[in-house]
Amino acid sequence: MEKEELKILAQNLANPQGEKGIEIGEMMNATNISMTLESVRTLVIEDDQQILEIGHGNAGHLKNIMSLAKNLKYTGIDISETMHNEAQKLNKEFENQADFILYEGKKLPFQDGTFNKIFTVNTVYFWGNPVEFLNEIYRVLKDDGTFVLTFGQRDFMEKLPFTEYDFTLYNNHEMEELISKSHFKRMKTSEKEEQIKSKTGEETIQRIYTILTIKK
């Protein structure tokens, strides 16, 4: 891929726009599905819970979440209008249980202690002020709630040609240090490995990623 193409890919991974964004959203859902489902499993979702996903993309995985327990209420929040519209379109069957909200990426537009479970996959690279944003997540999480943060490790991510454009990368130690600067008190780290097709579509690669289970 040419430099300009890689820049456009990086921009659309951060904030998918238009027709290209829809394509990227489909590709992200396909390449991230196992990371997403692993994150959801880690949440241990139970009946009657309120779930928040930060950066839902096209939310092609929502049916997997809804099948895990009864009477769930899902809220997805995203900075991309394209993904907001796609997620609504793809998930009409859940419109009574799912809300999709467009926001500016800094303040979470919810009351304190709203959610039992919060998760985010592959968004932390784009957070402008990560400690402040972690404190926002802390604020909207119930006292006995769980927050799962999933990300590709620095050693893996920096080999990808598009991550030099506006991605902030972390290894486990750096991420744990970041979280310890926020209000969160406890975390458990687990590492996973998988074979995936690269986002440039040119090869199969071994992805190493981390799931952090975080509590108040």
Cβ–Cβ under 8 Å, residues 138 and 71? no
Contact 72, 65 (CB under 8 A): yes
pLDDT at 201: 60
Read off the tokens for 172: 């486990």
pLDDT class of 199 with cuts at 50, 70, 90: low
**Span 166-179, mean pLDDT?**
96
Query: How far is residue 88's CA from residue 38's CA, in Å, rounded to a whole number?
Result: 23
Contacts (Cβ under 8 Å, ≥6 apart) of 89 = none
Which of 190, 192, 191, 170 lies closest to 181, judged by CA?
Answer: 170
Looking at the DSSP bridge assignments, the partners of residue 100 are 76
Worst-scoring range by mean pLDDT, 25-39, 50-64, 80-94, 104-118?
A: 25-39
Residues 6+ apart with CB under 8 A from 103: 77, 78, 79, 109
Summarised one tens digit per residue, pLDDT across range 91-108 is 999 999 999 999 999 999
Residue 159 near residue 122, CB atoms below 8 Å: no
- Tens of pLDDT, residue by residue over 13-44, are 888 899 888 998 898 888 899 999 999 999 99
DSSP label at residue 93: G
Flag whether pLDDT at 198 surpasses 70.
no
End-to-end CA distance of the chain: give it in Å, rounded: 43
DSSP structural state of residue 182: S
Residue 125 Cα distances to 91, 143, 182, 208, angstroms: 27, 26, 17, 15
Per the CB < 8 A criterion, the answer to whether 157 and 163 are in contact is yes
| Tokens matching residue 124 | 């932390």
Whether 200 has a pLDDT exceeding 80, the answer reads no
- Residue written as tokens 């290209």? 20
Of the listed ranges 17-26, 99-108, 172-181, 201-210, the least confidently predicted one is 201-210
In the predicted structure, residue 163 carries a pLDDT above the cut 80: yes
184 and 132 Cβ atoms separated by less than 8 Å: no
